Amino acid sequence: MNISPYHLVLGSSSPARKMLLEKLHIPFTTCSPDIDESDQPNETPQQLVQRLAKEKAYAVATQLTLTEPTFIIGGDQVAVVDGMITGKPHTHEKAIATLKAMSGKVITYYNGLCLYDPLKQREQISLTTTDVHFRTLSDDLIETYLQKDQPYQCAGGFRSEGMGIVLAEKYVSDDPNALVGLPLISLLNMLKKWELF
Whether 1 has a pLDDT exceeding 50, the answer reads no
pTM, two decimal places: 0.91
pLDDT in tens, 136-145: 999 999 999 9
pLDDT in tens, 40-67: 999 999 999 999 999 999 999 999 988 8
152: three-class secondary structure by DSSP: coil
DSSP symbols for 17-44:
HHHHHHTT----EE-------PPPTT--
Domain contains 171: yes
158: three-class secondary structure by DSSP: coil
Domain contains 1: no
109: three-class secondary structure by DSSP: strand
Whether 38 has a pLDDT exceeding 90, the answer reads no
Looking up residue 46, the CATH number of its domain turns out to be: 3.90.950.10
pLDDT in tens, 61-76: 999 988 889 999 999 9
Enumerate the β-bridge partners of residue 77: 111
Whether 2 has a pLDDT exceeding 50, the answer reads no
Domain contains 106: yes
Predicted confidence at residue 103, as pLDDT, reads 97
Whether 4 has a pLDDT exceeding 70, the answer reads no
pLDDT in tens, 177-191: 999 999 999 999 999
Whether 159 has a pLDDT exceeding 60, the answer reads yes
| Beta strand residue intervals within the chain, DSSP E | 7-10, 29-30, 70-81, 84-86, 106-117, 122-134, 168-173
Predicted confidence at residue 149, as pLDDT, reads 94
Q: Which is nearest to 10 in space by CA: 196, 187, 193?
A: 187
What is the overall mean pLDDT for the chain? 93
Domain contains 2: no
Give the active site residues.
Answer: 76
Whether 28 has a pLDDT exceeding 50, the answer reads yes
Judge contact between 137 and 100, C-beta under 8 A. Answer: yes
Q: How many domains does the chain have?
A: 1
150: three-class secondary structure by DSSP: coil
Domain span at residue 94 reads 7-193
